[in-house]
Amino acid sequence: YIEKKLQIDEVDELVKIPIKDIMSPPVVVAEDVSIYKSIVTMFLEDVGTLFVINENEKLCGVISRKDLLKMSMGQNDLKRTPVSLAMTRMPNIIIATSDDSYLEATRKIVDNQIDSLPVVNEDMEVVGRFSKTNIARNLVDFLCDNMKGKGD
Ligand code: ADP
């Protein structure tokens, strides 16, 4: 293929992509689910972060790999300890909405040194997941599409 230089308006297009176009499905657990079950869910669903929802199906927490590792090192009964004991909870959760741009959402991840953001609607229901994987995939797809000359 022919390599071509990126044009400014192409880069402009990249940073403005709404994350609804590139986000992944969320993986959620209820707040009374055990730490043990959360670890199993993380493996089965192949994600690094689970979003925790309350009885009204609204976002109430985020639980990461290291949160679960930390709980596993103590003397806790993992099958009896609820995930709500280890999660980061509202209002400390950094969220995104589906209209956030690629640049805005990536900025939140970088500034807060986290791996992913829950994407929520106006009712605080989790509608997606935006992670470092989405960031990398979108960038690589964009560069491969735009740096190759058309018609080769
Ligand atoms: P890990 O802990 O596995 O390295 P992260 O870097 O994403 O994964 O998480 C670091 C800490 O930040 C954890 O305690 C986690 O609960 C919390 N965290 C993860 N995502 C968010 C988020 N979107 N908003 C607030 N806190 C978060």
- ipTM for this model: 0.97
Residue 7 has φ and ψ, to the nearest 5°, of: -90, 150
**pLDDT confidence of residue 74:** 86
Q: What are the residues facing 118 on neighbouring strands?
A: 129
CATH fold group of domain 8-146: CBS-domain (3.10.580)
- Which atom from ligand 1 is nearest to the alpha carbon of 95? 23
Please tell me the distance between residue 124's alpha carbon and the centre of ligand 1 in angstroms: 18
**Cα distance between residue 125 and residue 53, in whole Å:** 8
What residues line ligand 1, using a CB cutoff of 6 Å? Answer: 48-49, 62-67, 88, 92-94, 114-117
What residues in the chain have per-residue pLDDT under 50? 151-152
**pLDDT confidence of residue 150:** 54
**pLDDT confidence of residue 2:** 67
User: What's the distance, Cα to Cα, between the start and end of the chain in Å?
Assistant: 6
